[in-house]
Chain A
Amino acid sequence: MPILSIFLIVSAALFCTGLLAALSRRHAIFILIGIEMMLAAANLNFIAFWRFGPQTQQPIGVMVAIFSIAIAAAEAAVGLALVIAFYRHYRTTNVDQLNQLKG
């Protein structure tokens, strides 16, 4: 089993890949994919710290990861509903076109 810093580096790399997807793409669904990857990287971080850290009475890291997965699923559902809703209105999924409130 590698040391904790290796797990943290992998988690940081996954986080930055998610950040890359969220920042550099125009399609709304790609941005959502990036956000989900960032959440997964954070979960990995929590579980790694739980495994390597002092063991408390309750498995706190595991609990936080469970709730984080549940909330990520809810957020993905609502985000995708938003994408469908504005696709219906504007017939495009390019987030640069969402500039109605500009100026």
Chain B
Amino acid sequence: MNSVAFILIAILTLAAALAAASLPKLIHAALSFAVTFVGVAAFFFLLGAEFIGLVQVFVYIGAVAVLIVFTILLTRRDAGKDRGFNWGGVVIAIAVFGGLLWAILHTPAVSIAAPNIEALTVKRIGEALMTSYVWPLQCVGVLLTAALIGALILVMEEKR
């Protein structure tokens, strides 16, 4: 049952990712990109990290995908079709995939089965965030504020 679920999710994710990388029409690519993230969130659920899966759906599909479609709309003068496709990129991507595949298959340490672990509750994540990881949390807060202000300044219209 688990393996069937894994195969289905893997096919969905990789097909959507390929569609997002190769569809000529921008909006279709952006919507396939959202489907890819649904697939990745399903992987997280399968691996037992449900909180991360929910955060992934929330942040990527609810925010980043909406941002991307809005930007596509606002920069629409020559959108619709993306002209020009660089085939060198395909060669490089296939080469990198070949290299990674070779590295994974030649490492015996990663051919292990899943150990039984206790379920990861939100309480444990909260405690970790507030005790051991409180400094990274505050830094991410400052970073998000800086990104917010920076993005606003970049798109503000100059006063005439």
Interface residues of A (CB under 8 A from B): 1-10, 12-27, 29-30, 32-34, 36-37, 40, 43-44, 47-48, 50-52, 55, 58-59, 62-63, 65-67, 69-78, 80-85, 87, 91-94, 96
Contact = CB atoms under 8 A, between A and B. Distances in A.
Contacts of A83: 71, 75
A6 B2 CA distance: 13
A84 B74 contact: yes
Given A69-B59, A77-B147, A84 B154 contact: yes
Given A3-B112, A5-B105, A20 B49 contact: no
Contact of B59 (A9, A10, A22, A70): A70
Nearest to B117: A55
A29 B75 contact: yes
B136 A67 contact: yes
B20 A33 contact: yes
Contact of B71 (A22, A75, A84): A84
A47 B47 contact: yes
Given A19-B92, A37-B33, A59 B125 contact: yes
18 contacts: A5-B105, A10-B10, A12-B101, A12-B104, A17-B20, A19-B96, A20-B90, A22-B89, A27-B79, A40-B36, A44-B44, A51-B49, A59-B125, A73-B64, A74-B143, A80-B68, A81-B154, A84-B75
B75 A77 contact: no
Contacts of B86: 23-26
A36 B30 contact: no
Contacts of A48: 47
Nearest to B63: A73
Contact of B60 (A9, A22, A36): A36
B104 A8 contact: yes
